[in-house]
Structure 1
Amino acid sequence: MSPLFVLFVLVLSISKPVVSIPVGQDGNSGPCKDVFDNFSACSEFIEGGACNDPSATCCQKIATLNAIVNQENGGRVRICRCIEFFSMYNASRPFITSRIQELPLKCNTQLSFPISERMNCSSIDH
């Protein structure tokens, strides 16, 4: 079991739940595994890495996350909370606002879920 998953489960178990996050269909994957797998393709760009453009893979993964939002009841909240957790876990490499703003433009898409320098999902609509 990955340390990230264990930490996430620990945080969920001691915090007051605001919204439930569904577990993967197989029961063995974490509630954020699909989000981490997809969103991590964009982390180098969003965190200000040397690349000036998001990779083609990043753009494909953003499209996948958008599809999850449109297909899953509560998907927008779940994805937001998972990205919020991702940003806390990688606090030493914060998201860069200008890169976040460039992402939908450079990937020729719209974001169906929020991403910000200081993630806070407590006030988003379901």
Structure 2
Amino acid sequence: MLLLAMIQIMVQPGQALTCGQVDASLAPCVPYLTQGGNPAPTCCDGVKNIKDMAANTADRRAACNCVKNAANRYSNLKDDAAQALPTKCGVQMSIPISRTTNCDIIN
């Protein structure tokens, strides 16, 4: 029974992407986003993870809003570093890292 419960918790179809997941994925990026330079490999792994988790429009919009909220928590976030993050990590994704993105237009 315990095993079945654990499997159901891990595999819940339709489960929406959460800001906790996005925040955890981007946490290693904070030094790069606030100081510049180059993102750490763990940061790029997090960016790839967000892209993989955001498999549909609803998840991409949710991730966008989470990213936007996270960006607004850091007054010293460098906008140019944030915008360049996916490119620096070699990830093509439609979720911009910005304080001002209109997430409702994300497809």
Query: TM-score higher than 0.5 here?
Result: yes
Counterpart position of 1:43: 30
Counterpart position of 2:43: 58
Q: 2:69 corresponds to which letter in structure 1? A: F
Output aligned runs, 1:21-100, within 5 Å. 22=16, 31-47=18-34, 49=35, 52-70=37-55, 72=56, 74-90=58-74, 92-94=75-77, 96-100=78-82
| Cα separation, 2, equivalents of 1:75 and 1:105 | 21
Report the CA distance shift for 1:124/1:36 in structure 2 as closer, same or farther (over 3 A): same
Sequence identity of aligned pairs in percent?
Answer: 26
**Conserved? CA contact 1:97–1:116, under 8 Å:** yes
| Cα separation, 2, equivalents of 1:63 and 1:93 | 24
Pairwise CA distance, 1:117: 4.4
Listed as ranges, the gaps of 5+ residues in structure 2 are 1-14
Are 1:122 and 2:93 counterparts? no
List structure 1 runs of 4+ shifted beyond 6 angstroms: none
Pairwise CA distance, 1:118: 2.5
TM, length-normalised to structure 1? 0.61
Q: 1:69 corresponds to which letter in structure 2? A: A
Return the index of the structure with the highest Cα Rg: 2
Pairwise CA distance, 1:68: 0.8
**Conserved? CA contact 1:104–1:110, under 8 Å:** yes
Q: CA RMSD in A?
A: 2.3
Aligned residues: 93
| Cα separation, 2, equivalents of 1:73 and 1:62 | 17
Listed as ranges, the gaps of 5+ residues in structure 1 are 1-20, 25-30
Counterpart position of 2:91: 109
The structure that is helix-richer by fraction is 2
Q: Which has the higher contact order (CA 8 A, sep 6+)?
A: 2
